Amino acid sequence: ASLRSKKVTYQVCPMVEETKDAEAGEEVEAEADEANAALAALQASLEASEKEAEEEMKQIDEEAAAEAPAAAAEDFAWPDETAEAAEEAAGGEAEAAEAEEEKEAEEEKDEEEAKPAAAGKGKKGKGKGKGRGAEEKEWVPVTKLGRLVKAGKIDSMEDIYLHSLPIKEYEIVDQFYPPGNLKDEVMKIHPVQKMTSAGQRNRFVCYVLVGDQAGHIGLGSKCAKEVATAIRGGIIAAKMSLIPVRRGYWGNKIGMPHTVPMKVHGKCGSVRVRLVPAPRGSGIVGSPVLKKMMQFAGVSDCFSCTTGHTRTKGNFMKATFEALRVTYAYLTPDLWKPTHFVKPPFQEHTDFLAQTKAGATY
């Protein structure tokens, strides 16, 4: 029985394999037919799209061929008229530009005529016009000294120093020094704060030095909310505090004066500055700030001795300034000659001051 079963299984297995092979072949043929059908459909769609594209190109070519003669005829028929139109347009633009220039010229004339009436103010005389704040106005003196200086009754700054007249207008100094002769330099700018109920209030302090390098020096300071305003105020204060500096010799009186005439001393706060005469060629022995001040004063040789908190530039410059001021306070033997008194300018020019009046009163 076992042998028979083996024979049966041996005979059945080849038949099953043959049926499987037949089914697989049929499936492959079906797939191939489907692929061929898809390819045929794609080819048909491509041919249809190519035909449509060819038809569209033909239509475009026909339309272009129909429009070309009309455009050529227009270009050929109206060349003169287009040129004339362009010329007319250019002429119109030129006329418009000329009209605008004439209007601007008339407006400028009107503004110039209105300036004297407005006295440097903007429209309707209210405040400064835009960009006109920097215009230089004619100086109208308000003090007796200013009126005498502007009228040419006083020849030099020495006449003012001789009678110890206070300078209350910086234009007095500008009157004696042409632009560029009086040099100025900002020595230090530092912020300061004040605590108020609304918070901190920040301002800037500016120290300015002016001098002609020929025996005159001035130091001024100003505190303002803006740096530019502080610098401007510092220059004005320095000009009004201009003082003469006496210069002398270290040994024999040969050549021009080159150093301080004697030992002088100045102080401000905790700073003490002592200036000592030096031989010719020694230079200025001191800090950079002191060197700058000596150069502005016209002193080329000088020894210095300082004590205190000299890092505080403001006090250090003020102490040096006081030391230079003292140079005219010592009565040296060459000044022991009899003094010839002269009339002060206000007494000498009394009639002139009585005739003229100050430009403004406060």
pLDDT one-digit tens code per residue, 214-249: 999 999 999 999 999 999 999 999 999 999 999 999
Q: What is the pLDDT of residue 24?
A: 65
Q: Between 136 and 68, where is the model more confident? A: 136
The per-residue pLDDT for 166 is 95
Given a cut of 80, whether residue 6 has pLDDT beyond it is no
Q: Is residue 218 part of a domain?
A: yes
**Could you tell me if 194 and 237 lie in one domain?**
yes
Do 273 and 257 belong together in one domain? yes
Residues 209 and 293 in one domain: yes
Specify if 27 maps to a domain.
no
Residues 328 and 213 in one domain: yes
Instruction: Tell whether 13 is covered by a domain.
Output: no
> Do 189 and 290 fall within a single domain?
yes
Q: Is residue 186 domain-shared with residue 254, that is, in the same domain?
A: yes
Residue 320 included in any domain = yes
In a domain, 120, yes or no: no
Domain co-membership, 303 together with 234: yes
246-291 pLDDT, tens digit per residue, is: 999 999 999 999 999 999 999 999 999 999 999 999 999 999 999 9
Residues 159 and 279 both lie in one domain: no
Average per-residue pLDDT in the chain? 82
Domain assignment of residue 57, yes or no: no
Confidence bin at 86 (pLDDT 50/70/90): low
- Closest by alpha carbon to 310, among 273, 267, 271? 271
When comparing pLDDT for 231 and 16, which is higher? Answer: 231
Tell me the pLDDT tens digit for each residue of 109-142: 666 655 544 444 444 444 444 444 455 788 999 9
Structure confidence at residue 315 as a pLDDT band (50, 70, 90): very high
Q: Please report whether residue 100 resides in a domain.
A: no
Residues 153 and 208 in one domain: no
Are 320 and 189 members of one domain?
A: yes
Judged against a pLDDT cut of 90, whether residue 206 lies above it is answered with: yes
Do 258 and 289 fall within a single domain?
yes
Task: Give residue 361's pLDDT band: very low, low, confident or very high (50, 70, 90).
Answer: low
**Whether the predicted pLDDT of 80 surpasses 60:** no
Instruction: Note down the domain range covering 153.
Output: 139-172
pLDDT at 18: 53
pLDDT band at 41 (very low <50, low <70, confident <90, very high): confident
- Whether 50 is in a domain gets the answer no
What's the CATH code of the domain at 250? 3.30.230.10
What's the number of domains the chain is made of? Answer: 2
Output 133 or 357, whichever has higher pLDDT: 357
Distance CA 318, CA 220 (A): 9
321: pLDDT strictly greater than 60 = yes
Together in a domain, 264 and 314: yes
More confident call, 276 vs 356? 276
